[in-house]
Structure 1
């Protein structure tokens, strides 16, 4: 049976209106509600379902970030993960942690923990990079299937249905492998109160990138973070002929 490593990220909650800092160096995070990245919830759910079907014997949840990331790990444990690993990165370093760093961390942990499968969300809703799964697979040299909407298990291989622009694509990958979860893969469960209480007793190992031999010096410099331009008001036209005339004039209504 497989051992599964799931990468989870603490992000600003999807329901919060994002505010840009006055110096345009980033977004306001202090005093703002955070939660687990929604696509990572789907990744955890898939790993826990594997365990319930006796396809996996252990699910390990990993999060990189400040002390508050432990809350995100506890949520994963309450959903059914067996143990957590907190790669502690504080303050400014956490703010500028990039997919290349996370992928190297996940790859090293996968080797140390001798896992057969890595599952992450297809992207984080804060930076929308959609790079970590691909880079992790590249670092390890493992087959990688992204945007998974269905995963079927065979003998040392997986049949994955991927969501692509033109519809659906079905691929087969040998294990060990890296997967990224798309929206329609499953519907994550809510953590029940008894499971939240049990999660407090599950082990969470704390390590640093330095312990893993990973350099997290930023590779990308953020020049400026700005609000999107305010959308202009639309206009109501009396008929189709006027619409066509407007479009011919310059394409702006």
Structure 2
């Protein structure tokens, strides 16, 4: 039986007011936390791949790294249809940068047998970097297909489509691989009552850094390879440009071209 691992993240609700701590890390206390919306697209893609390949016997495992209080994301993934949930939780992870987080997740994946595919969202709402799939693929020395709108599996090959402002691309790679999906992918399903109740009772496997062979010196804020040195509030939204009748068509065309929209 092959495994599809979906990386999920418990993040502050985008409707909550988000602030930074003195060390420029995101204040995660006192705000509503939910499964990152882009991870719902990732979970939906994994479930579609499982359903489209019944002979492969795929199982879908949701994996999350974060504080012990972050079970909500995993239970939402279980309610959608994940077969199993694993939470990597360790105080030493706090403040980890992209490289440290990817290294910890890579080693956590290594504890899961027969992984054929890792599915992520294109970028988390609390970090918005979008680089983790590529870094994870580099650590694992497997192909990465990113920012996808759809994907299919045939045998040991994954074929995918990426749509962005530059056009539509058809991509292909051999398994195992890492993929990330955008919000142009299939709309996430709503969990049914049976799934919600089963998720509430499901056991979530807990693992620590020691159990996956990662030392505290490889992760955490104090050992991060990158650091935020300054931050500023987003400026108030300014009034947009007003285009008069004279030469309007040319100005609009120039703007759309500059934004890669035509």
* 1:111 equivalent in structure 2: 110
Instruction: Note the 1:87-236 alignment, pairs <5 A.
Output: 87-90=88-91, 93-94=93-94, 96-113=95-112, 114-214=114-214, 215-216=218-219, 217-232=223-238
Give the Å deviation of 1:86.
0.5
How many angstroms apart in 2 are the aligned matches of 1:66 and 1:59?
A: 22
The 3-state SS of whatever aligns with 1:105 is helix
How many angstroms apart in 2 are the aligned matches of 1:40 and 1:232?
A: 31
Distance 1:42 1:234, change over 3 A: closer
Instruction: Note the 1:41-80 alignment, pairs <5 A.
Output: 41-53=40-52, 54=54, 55-80=56-81
Name the TM-score, length of structure 1 as normaliser: 0.84
Name the TM-score, length of structure 2 as normaliser: 0.82
Distance 1:25 1:143, change over 3 A: closer
Give the Å deviation of 1:46.
1.3
Give the Å deviation of 1:74.
0.9
Segments of 5+ residues of structure 1 without an aligned counterpart are 242-253
The 3-state SS of whatever aligns with 1:168 is strand
How many angstroms apart in 2 are the aligned matches of 1:122 and 1:49?
A: 17
Instruction: Note the 1:237-252 alignment, pairs <5 A.
Output: none
* 2:38 equivalent in structure 1: 39
Q: Is the 8 A contact 2:24 2:231 kept in 1?
A: yes
Give the Å deviation of 1:202.
2.8
CA-based RMSD of the aligned residues comes to: 2.4
How many angstroms apart in 1 are the aligned matches of 2:140 and 2:175?
A: 12
How many angstroms apart in 2 are the aligned matches of 1:19 and 1:136?
A: 28
Give the Å deviation of 1:99.
2.2
The 3-state SS of whatever aligns with 2:63 is strand
Distance 1:226 1:171, change over 3 A: same
Matched, 1:82 2:83: yes
Give the Å deviation of 1:200.
2.9
How many angstroms apart in 1 are the aligned matches of 2:209 and 2:120?
A: 19
Q: In the comparison of the two structures, how many residue pairs are matched? A: 238
Distance 1:30 1:138, change over 3 A: same
Give the Å deviation of 1:31.
1.5
Segments of 5+ residues of structure 2 without an aligned counterpart are 248-262
- Runs of 4+ in structure 1 deviating by more than 6 angstroms, as ranges, are 234-239
How many angstroms apart in 2 are the aligned matches of 1:105 and 1:77?
A: 22
The 3-state SS of whatever aligns with 1:170 is strand
Q: Which moved more, 1:26-35 or 1:140-149?
A: 26-35
Partner deviation per Cα, 1:31-55 (whole Å, 9 max, x = no partner): 1111111111111111122223325
